[in-house]
Amino acid sequence: MSRTSTKLDSKKVNSELFTLTYGALVAQLLKDYENIEDVNKQLERMGYNMGIRLIEDFLARTGSGRCYDFRDTAEKIQTGFKIFLGITPTITNWSAAGDEFSLCFEANPLTEFVELPDHCLNLKYCNVLIGVLRGACEMVQMEIACWFVQDQLKNDNITELRVKFIKRLEDAIPAGED
Amino acid sequence: MRQQITDTKINSHISGEADECLFEYLHAEMVNYALNKSCKNKEGEEELSRLEWMGFSVGYRIIERLTREWNRFKDELDMIKFICTDFWSSLYHKQIDNLRTNHHGVYVLQDNSFRLLNKVGTNSNKQYLQESPRLLAFTCGLLRGSLANLGIISTVNAEISTLPSCKFHVQVQRI
């Protein structure tokens, strides 16, 4: 007797696996640390480690070269979200100097099954993204800072991630050579 | 217009593989974290219960979503078969290669090239054999959690003899 049910969609299951795994990790961190600030920090650190590896996948997959300017960077970050998470955040709110922009998410796969309880209001649930962006950009010699301005988990309409260009990192001289 | 052209090009790049590495990197970070947190016990064995627990909670939740539209399973073996085929292939992109059972609650699931071990080494390479078990703890928990939500209480162990193949031993606890 064969099953009538449809086959499992491997792609969808995979993204759910990622979402749920991330959730389990956050839950574990909340259990391990008393201080929510420490959880935020830890999430960012993990994101950073992921970002410095993820950038290689990104470059290999897109074959993109160096960024001409920060607007170009913004578009590439957007592409990155599309490739890895299947979402396309909108790029808005450019600062006059062109060194700051916002990424707005209407839906965020990371928070698909998530609700924040009251005692976790300081938790930056998606802090891993900040780490990923910082790590990835650092590997292409760009120092950036980013932070959340709005968060759907905290009852905002959208999730807004602000990205700011800090400086271009110069090629370092290998240790022991002057 | 230019934007559109680049967009379609990117679309064609997106294969099933796209977001796969995300899970792998996240998993790697979790392993790192769990190792940092644990202190080695007397026998020098690593304490991987954190990983196992995270796997358990993921397994417990994900199976609920996956089996939502499935017919009721006939029996225990039917559930294990589901785990070996559909469940495994949607999570790890291949089926379990070999399933053995003694028909008394012991199941051995063998995967000849397990996804999380694939890039660690091949047959002749023993370099990372000792460190590899830490990459299986999460999946052990995942199996245990999935079975738990299907109503099977079990213990799950893993064993590696040659990379990248591994065996999961599922021991069902009868009450």
Quickly state the pLDDT bin for B44 (edges 50, 70, 90).
Answer: low
Closest partner residue to B26 among A8, A32, A50, by Cβ?
A50
Interface predicted TM-score of the whole assembly (ipTM), two decimals:
0.87
- CA gap B136, B158 in Å, rounded: 7
Q: What are A144's strand-pairing partners?
A: A165
The alpha-carbon gap from A168 to the nearest alpha carbon of chain B, in Å, equals 26
- CA gap B108, A35 in Å, rounded: 42
How many residue pairs from chains A and B have C-beta atoms closer than 8 A? Answer: 109
Decide if A17 and B58 are in contact by the 8 Å CB cutoff.
yes
Residue A132 has pLDDT above 80, yes or no: yes
Residues of A in contact with B62 (CB under 8 A): 13, 16-17, 20
Q: What is the mean pLDDT of residues A117-141?
A: 91
Query: Who wins on pLDDT, A28 or A120?
Result: A28
The alpha-carbon gap from A156 to the nearest alpha carbon of chain B, in Å, equals 27
Decide if B89 and A84 are in contact by the 8 Å CB cutoff.
no
Q: Which of B26-40, B54-68, B158-172 has the lowest mean pLDDT?
A: B26-40
Decide if B62 and A16 are in contact by the 8 Å CB cutoff.
yes
Decide if A18 and B69 are in contact by the 8 Å CB cutoff.
no
- CA gap A18, B71 in Å, rounded: 26
DSSP chain B: -HHHHHHHHHHHH--TTTTHHHHHHHHHHHHHHHHHH----TT-----HHHHHHHHHHHHHHHHHHTTTSPPP-SHHHHHHHIIIIIHHHHHSS--SEEEE-SSSEEEEEETT-TTTTTT--TT--TTTTTGGGGTHHHHHHHHHHHHHTT--EEEEEE-SSTT-EEEEEEEPP-
- Give me the percent of chain B exceeding a pLDDT of 90: 41
- Residue A147: closest CA among A133, A161, A166, A126: A161
Amino acid letter for position B56: F
Residues of A in contact with B69 (CB under 8 A): 5-6
Identify residues of B whose CB sits under 8 angstroms from chain A CBs.
10, 13-14, 16, 18-23, 25-30, 32-33, 37, 50, 53-55, 57-58, 61-62, 65-66, 69-71, 86-87, 89-91, 93
pLDDT value of position A96: 93
Decide if A17 and B23 are in contact by the 8 Å CB cutoff.
yes
* Extended beta strands in chain A, E state: 90-92, 100-105, 142-150, 159-168
Decide if A9 and B16 are in contact by the 8 Å CB cutoff.
no
pLDDT tens digits, A39-79: 999 999 999 999 999 999 999 989 888 888 899 999 999 99
Quickly state the pLDDT bin for B15 (edges 50, 70, 90).
Answer: very low
Residue B92 has pLDDT above 50, yes or no: yes
pLDDT tens digits, A96-112: 999 999 999 998 888 88
Neighbours of A117 (CB within 10 A): 8
Which residue in chain A has the smallest CA separation from B138?
A21
Residues of A in contact with B90 (CB under 8 A): 8-10, 13-14
Decide if B90 and A27 are in contact by the 8 Å CB cutoff.
no
Q: Residue B165 in contact with residue B111, Cβ under 8 Å? A: yes
pLDDT value of position A72: 92
The alpha-carbon gap from A176 to the nearest alpha carbon of chain B, in Å, equals 31
Query: Who wins on pLDDT, A13 or A155?
Result: A155
- The three-state secondary structure class of A45 is helix
Amino acid letter for position A124: K
pTM above 0.90, yes or no: no
The alpha-carbon gap from A63 to the nearest alpha carbon of chain B, in Å, equals 10
Residues of B in contact with A13 (CB under 8 A): 62, 66, 90-91
The alpha-carbon gap from A5 to the nearest alpha carbon of chain B, in Å, equals 6
- CA gap B17, B26 in Å, rounded: 15
Closest partner residue to B70 among A3, A20, A85, by Cβ?
A3
Decide if B26 and A53 are in contact by the 8 Å CB cutoff.
no
Decide if A46 and B29 are in contact by the 8 Å CB cutoff.
yes
Neighbours of B76 (CB within 10 A): 18
Q: What is the mean pLDDT of residues B118-138?
A: 83
Quickly state the pLDDT bin for A159 (edges 50, 70, 90).
Answer: very high
pLDDT value of position B39: 67
pLDDT value of position A15: 81
Only one residue has tokens 């990459």, namely B135
